[in-house]
Amino acid sequence: MKKLVGFGALFLSVALFGCSDEEAQKQQPIEANAQSEGTTTEPEKQEQGFNDGVDEASFQETLATFPETVPANIVTTSVPITEMLHLLDIEPVGVPTSTNPIPADYDSIARIGSPMAPDLEVISSLQTDLIIGSEALKDSLDKALEGLNLQASYLRTDSYDDLKLSFKVLGTYFGKEDLMNEKMQNIVAKEEELKTKAEGKELPSVMLVIGTADSFMVMNEKSYLGSLVENLGAENIAQTVLKAESTYSAMNLEDVVVADPDMIFVLASGDHGANKDKFKQEIEQNSAWTQLSAYKNDEIHMLDYSTFGVTSIANVETALTTISEYFFK
């Protein structure tokens, strides 16, 4: 038995998912949609023409964490939130510094440092009114902001459902419902299309593996990739057999052999951890891999890090389609 060395899930969540122009442009203040106005009633949903699947209570609870009036100067410390702001045509005054993609339209916007360690001097120099960060880093960012008179709000960005919730909150708060609904409708339509395609078919059991600099770990439904697989209706052995409670868990290959998943998806990146060659070495060094049905049936698939490595509302339709194509081929 070989147990792979684990490490902090928080670091993984941040490192993988995030994931200047000192004369930053200022937005005109916008009257906030009152929280009560953000409530989507059933008649409004019917008028909207689709059910986005976002939990209403979570939506209202998250929306209520934002200031009553939309401020002018917004900074975000999160790459996924940066992408959402771009889709909603909202221009912040500061965005994170990251190796993960930032929309090119924001090239002239000030970089405020990494999501884990933003530069508070830069943030202050931008006359920031509101910082929007990832919920996963709330504790550390709140601690960093102690003593500063800065408002901060946090959004979940770890899973597919998190992305939809947070995108809806931003679209509603900033009065960008038309852009938000257009994107959400496309996502929901893709969901429905793929679920219809899966009806009456037996989907494979899968194992999701992420490579790091030191090891490979399994991902459960709380991860971005895991949430996509769950949405499509396939069994993830991290939940059903391995009982992995953490988003990223050390892999016991003996247990994996017993579970014997039909497919294995490997997310590997040379920039953030182990690359494809390292995974091949892992297989060569442990013959247990060759006992797996996925290995024998050539069902171990390396996923594109640019699509699956960063939680992305923009890429979610492509990500869902890519996974479903493996299921339905």
Per-residue pLDDT tens for 285-316?
Answer: 888 899 999 999 999 999 988 888 889 999 99
pLDDT beyond 70 at 10: no
For residue 8 the two structure tokens come to 């902090």
Question: What spatial distance separates the first Cα and last Cα of the chain, rounded to whole Å?
Answer: 34
Per-residue model confidence (pLDDT) at position 269: 65
Q: Are 163 and 79 in contact (CB under 8 A)?
A: no
Give the type of residue at 155. Answer: L
Q: Give the position of tokens 């009982």.
A: 243
Per-residue model confidence (pLDDT) at position 186: 94
Burial class of residue 93 in the structure, from the number of CB atoms within 10 Å of its CB (0-12 exposed, 13-18 middle, 19+ buried): buried
- Per-residue pLDDT, averaged over 256-260, amounts to 93
At 273, is the pLDDT very low, low, confident or very high (cuts 50, 70, 90)?
Answer: low
- Strands 248-250 and 216-219, how do they pair? antiparallel
- Taking each helix axis as running N to C, give the angle between helix 316-328 and helix 177-198, from 0 to 180 degrees, rounded to the nearest 10: 0
The percentage of the chain sitting over the pLDDT mark of 90, rounded to a whole number, equals 60
Per-residue model confidence (pLDDT) at position 201: 85
CA 312 to chain centre: 5
Phi, psi of 6 (to 5 degrees): -95, 175
Among residues 51, 33, 34, the alpha carbon closest in space to that of 42 is found at 51
Q: Are 290 and 253 in contact (CB under 8 A)?
A: no
| CA 66 – CA 59 distance, rounded (Å) | 12
User: How many Cα atoms within 13 Å fall on the side-chain side of residue 142?
Assistant: 8
At 282, is the pLDDT very low, low, confident or very high (cuts 50, 70, 90)?
Answer: confident
- Per-residue pLDDT, averaged over 19-38, amounts to 34
The percentage of the chain sitting over the pLDDT mark of 70, rounded to a whole number, equals 82
Per-residue model confidence (pLDDT) at position 44: 53
- Find the DSSP H helices in the chain: 9-16, 42-48, 56-63, 79-87, 120-125, 138-144, 160-173, 177-198, 224-232, 237-240, 253-259, 276-285, 293-296, 305-308, 316-328
Among residues 79, 87, 72, 78, the alpha carbon closest in space to that of 126 is found at 72
Q: Are 53 and 188 in contact (CB under 8 A)?
A: yes
pLDDT digits (tens, 9 = 90+) for 48-87: 568 898 999 999 999 999 999 999 999 999 999 999 999 9
Classify residue 174 by its DSSP letter.
T
Per-residue model confidence (pLDDT) at position 284: 82
Classify residue 31 by its DSSP letter.
P
| CA 1 – CA 287 distance, rounded (Å) | 11
Lowest average pLDDT, out of 41-50, 92-101, 143-152, 158-167, goes to 41-50
How many other CB atoms are found less than 10 A from the CB of residue 252?
A: 17
